């Protein structure tokens, strides 16, 4: 089978037409398994799909990762490969990530111009931050002795094929907190015999606002947002119970731990002061994504060799990526690949009109191949 980039444009359109949500990527996985088997790769299946390609005698193993899941969004575009699944679409370009990695697998299996082993990772459920961890728990790193890992994400609004990355933190963490207040509800004309959790919760929310402004150093880039305040209060009934929910983003784990600790302290203080019960939880769904020096240097060198536009020290992204869990295991590099500046390629990710740019497929395949050649030289 000769290499033809149009094959991967067609594959991308087919994946776009048939999107599947996180941990439900069954048909997507079947297509990838069939393709990788067809080009002669060793294929392993678990929660995701893994293809292995070994050339030469080299002992080094690197991993290249694409994500497979779509989003619960109703597609509004009218092109001829719109989603066949009502209310589900590839609005984050993961269809393109898969097509580029499949293309790279074929190109590298034909060219065989490297020395070592490549593990092609097709991971499920990136959007909820659960897929990478699930693959790690299946023993991905032990089984394949991976020593370096790479991932691409398309970036709308940036020039087509522009490569941007940085050493250090590239994506933020996301933690969700939930605080339950149990006071005493009652008649709104007799607040002194009640424990009104709206008044108490308001005090708690204002204290939470002081964490970023007064406890973290200026420029930490951390964000704490209270997004929900739900109570059982009604007209003439003071609230006896309430739930406060919110979201925390940080650029390093020390700030994240500090914020969690301060939320606990504030909750304990409020509970003591008002003699009510306060229970809180803090769950980090995405840790910070930290790029290592060596793989990032290889990415920058590879992009330069292909004469692509390169931003070697871009600003860190405010969004989160579960590739972070892979970078926590071995040195890794997460890079952004410009999806173009023209509509619909410059709409934000997760927009109901979003579409991955087919012109990026060939660029992505060439970049993957170059990274492999530079990381596993002959
Ligand atoms: Zn997304
Ligand atoms: Zn994405």
Walk along the chain (378 residues) in steps of 10 and give the mean pLDDT of each run.
94 98 98 98 98 97 98 95 97 98 98 98 96 97 97 96 97 96 97 98 98 95 95 97 96 95 98 98 94 98 98 92 97 97 79 95 98 97
Task: Supply the pLDDT for residue 211.
Answer: 98
In terms of phi and psi (left: phi > 0; alpha: psi -120 to 50; beta: otherwise), the region of 85 is beta
What was the pLDDT predicted at 227? 94
Nearest in space to 291 (alpha carbons), one of 375, 166, 121: 166
Q: How far is ligand 1, taken at its centre, from the CA of residue 321, in Å?
A: 8
Picking from 81, 99, 85, 93, the residue whose alpha carbon sits closest to that of residue 24 is 85
Task: Compute, in angstroms, the gap from residue 153 CA to the centroid of ligand 1.
Answer: 9
Residues in the chain: 378
Ligand 1 center from residue 81 Cα (angstroms): 20
Q: How far is the CA of 236 from the centre of ligand 2 (A)?
A: 47
Strand order in the sheet with 174-182: 223-231, 241-249, 174-182, 277-286
Distance 217 CA to ligand 2 centre (A): 30
Residue 294 CA to ligand 1 centre (angstroms) = 27
The residue with tokens 């590298």 is 108
Q: How far is the CA of 188 from the centre of ligand 2 (A)?
A: 48
Q: From the CA of 230, how far away is ligand 1's center (Å)?
A: 28
Task: Look at residue 15 in the predicted model and tell me its pLDDT.
Answer: 98
Q: How far is the CA of 116 from the centre of ligand 1 (A)?
A: 32
- Residue 269: its H or E element: helix 253-274
Domain with CATH 3.30.70.360 in the chain: 173-286
Q: Residue 258 Cα, ligand 1 centroid: separation in angstroms? A: 27
Question: Class of 173-286 per CATH?
Answer: alpha beta
DSSP one-letter code for 204 = H
The boundaries of every CATH 3.40.630.10 domain in the chain are 5-170+288-375
Q: What angle do CA 254, 334, 301 make, to 5 degrees?
A: 120
pLDDT of residue 343: 64
What is the predicted pLDDT for the residue at 345? 62
- Measure 243 CA to ligand 2 centroid, in angstroms: 30
Q: How far is CA 280 from CA 181, 249, 323, in A?
A: 9, 18, 28
Q: How far is the CA of 332 from the centre of ligand 2 (A)?
A: 17
Cβ-count burial of 79 within 10 angstroms (0-12 exposed, 13-18 middle, 19+ buried)? Answer: exposed
The residues whose Cβ lies within 5 A of ligand 1, an ion, are 92
* Fold topology of 5-170+288-375: Aminopeptidase (3.40.630)
Query: Both ends of the chain: CA-CA distance in Å?
Result: 24
Residue 81: CB atoms within 10 A of its CB come to 18
What pLDDT score was predicted for residue 136? 98
Pairing of strands 332-338, 163-164: antiparallel
Closest CA relative to residue 23, chosen from 168, 128, 158, 150: 128
Ligand 2 centroid to 129 CA: how many Å? 10
pLDDT at residue 318, as a whole number: 82
Cα(127) to centroid(ligand 2), Å: 7
Distance, CA 83 to ligand 2 centroid (Å)? 17
| Ligand found nearest the CA of 349 | 1
94 Cα–ligand 2 center, Å: 6
What's the pLDDT at 342? 77
Which-ligand-closest: CA of 339?
2
Q: What is the pLDDT of residue 208?
A: 98
Q: What are phi and psi of 177, to 5 degrees?
A: -115, 155
320 CA → ligand 1 middle, Å? 9
280 backbone dihedrals φ, ψ, rounded to 5°: -130, 155
Tokens of 2: 């000769």
Instruction: Render 272-326 in DSSP notation, one character per residue.
Output: HHHT-EEEEEEEEEEPPEEE-HHHHHHHHHHHHHTT--EETTPPPPSS--THHHH
Q: Token pair of 328, please?
A: 């926590």
- Ligand 2 centroid–CA 225 distance in Å is 23
In the block, tokens 């990381």 appear at 375
C-alpha closest to that of 335 among 351, 347, 317: 317
93 CA from centroid of ligand 1 (Å): 8
């Amino acid at each position: 089978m000769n290499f033809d980039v149009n094959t991967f444009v067609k594959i991308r359109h087919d994946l776009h037409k048939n999107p599947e949500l996180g941990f439900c990527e069954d048909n997507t996985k079947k297509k990838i398994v069939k393709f990788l088997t067809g080009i002669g790769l060793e294929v392993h299946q678990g929660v995701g799909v893994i293809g292995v390609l070994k050339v030469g005698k080299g002992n080094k193993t690197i991993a290249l990762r694409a994500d497979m899941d779509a989003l619960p969004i109703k597609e509004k575009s009218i092109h001829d490969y719109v989603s066949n699944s009502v209310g589900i679409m590839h609005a984050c370009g993961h269809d393109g990530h898969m097509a580029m990695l499949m293309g790279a697998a074929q190109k590298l299996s034909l060219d065989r111009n490297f020395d070592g082993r490549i593990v092609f990772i097709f991971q499920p459920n990136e959007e909820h931050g659960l897929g990478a961890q699930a693959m790690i728990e299946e023993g991905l790193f032990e089984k394949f002795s991976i020593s370096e890992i790479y991932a691409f994400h398309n970036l709308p609004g940036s020039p087509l094929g522009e490569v941007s990355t940085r050493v250090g933190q590239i994506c933020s963490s996301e933690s969700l907190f939930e605080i339950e207040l149990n006071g005493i509800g009652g008649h709104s004309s007799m607040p002194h015999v009640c424990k009104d959790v709206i008044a108490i919760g308001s005090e708690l929310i204002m204290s939470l606002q002081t964490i970023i402004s007064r406890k973290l150093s200026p420029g930490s880039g951390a964000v704490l947002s209270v997004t929900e305040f739900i109570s059982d209060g009604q007209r003439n009934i003071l609230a006896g119970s309430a739930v406060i929910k919110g979201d925390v983003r940080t650029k390093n784990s020390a700030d994240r731990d500090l914020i969690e600790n301060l939320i606990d302290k504030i909750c304990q203080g409020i509970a003591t002061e008002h003699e009510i019960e306060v229970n809180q939880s803090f769950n980090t769904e995405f840790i910070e994504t930290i790029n290592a020096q060596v793989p990032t240097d290889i990415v920058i060198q590879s992009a330069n060799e292909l004469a692509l536009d390169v931003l070697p020290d871009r600003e860190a992204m405010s969004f989160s990526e579960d590739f972070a869990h892979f970078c926590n295991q071995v040195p890794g590099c997460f890079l952004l690949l410009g999806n173009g500046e023209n509509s619909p390629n410059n709409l934000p990710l997760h927009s109901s009109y979003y579409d991955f740019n087919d012109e990026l497929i060939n660029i992505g395949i060439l970049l993957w191949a170059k990274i492999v050649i530079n990381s596993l030289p002959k």
